């Protein structure tokens, strides 16, 4: 697991709160940052037909984030979602949804948070694990 990314402690606290509040449904949202640092997040509505077992980020939230990025706003670095089952490992369904675009996927399973880079190869042919380093940024 040679890759490492820094993430703000406050970002993780916020994501964990949204995830706990949404249980037993999956919570989801967007990650913002640049390079090897995640400095912000946004919760988004999970519009999946079965949000207890799947997530689908509201396209409106995603489009708004991309539009903001093009206008000089925060850079979309990836996505986050919870696994209320407690397993923070990407599922085969997650892999089927992920584009090989290098975006970060943060998965919350109970108290455990894991990070994955979407690309070619790795787990389910799509994810490489990334170490998280907490910061106060």
46 DSSP 8-state letter: B
Distance CA 29, CA 106 (A): 10
pLDDT-based confidence at 125, cuts 50/70/90? confident
What's the confidence (pLDDT) of residue 136?
86
Q: Indicate the CATH number for domain 4-135.
A: 3.40.140.10
DSSP E strand stretches across the chain: 4-8, 28-34, 37-44, 76-82, 104-109, 112-123, 127-135
* Token output for 117: 């880079």
**1 has pLDDT over 60:** no
What's the confidence (pLDDT) of residue 83?
95
Range among 36-50, 88-102, 108-122 rated most confident:
36-50
What's the confidence (pLDDT) of residue 49?
96
The predicted model gives 118-131 an average pLDDT of 91
Helical segments of 28-80, H only: 59-70
pLDDT one-digit tens code per residue, 10-66: 999 999 999 999 999 999 999 999 889 999 999 999 999 999 999 999 999 999 999
Catalogue the active-site residues. 26
pLDDT-based confidence at 137, cuts 50/70/90? low
Distance CA 105, CA 118 (A): 7
**2 has pLDDT over 70:** no
Residue spans of the domains in the chain: they are: 4-135
């Amino acid at each position: 697991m040679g890759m490492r990314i820094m993430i703000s402690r406050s970002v993780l606290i916020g994501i964990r709160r949204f995830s706990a509040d949404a249980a037993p449904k999956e919570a989801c949202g967007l990650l913002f940052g640049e390079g090897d640092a995640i400095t912000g997040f946004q919760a988004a509505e999970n519009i999946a037909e079965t949000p207890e077992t799947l997530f689908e980020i509201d396209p409106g939230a995603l489009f708004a984030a991309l539009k903001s990025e093009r206008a000089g706003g925060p850079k979309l670095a990836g996505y986050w979602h919870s696994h209320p089952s407690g397993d923070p490992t990407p599922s085969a369904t997650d892999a089927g949804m992920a584009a090989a675009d290098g975006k970060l996927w943060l998965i919350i399973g109970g108290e455990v948070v894991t990070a994955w880079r979407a690309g070619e190869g790795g787990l389910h042919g799509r994810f490489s694990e990334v170490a998280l380093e907490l910061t106060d940024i």
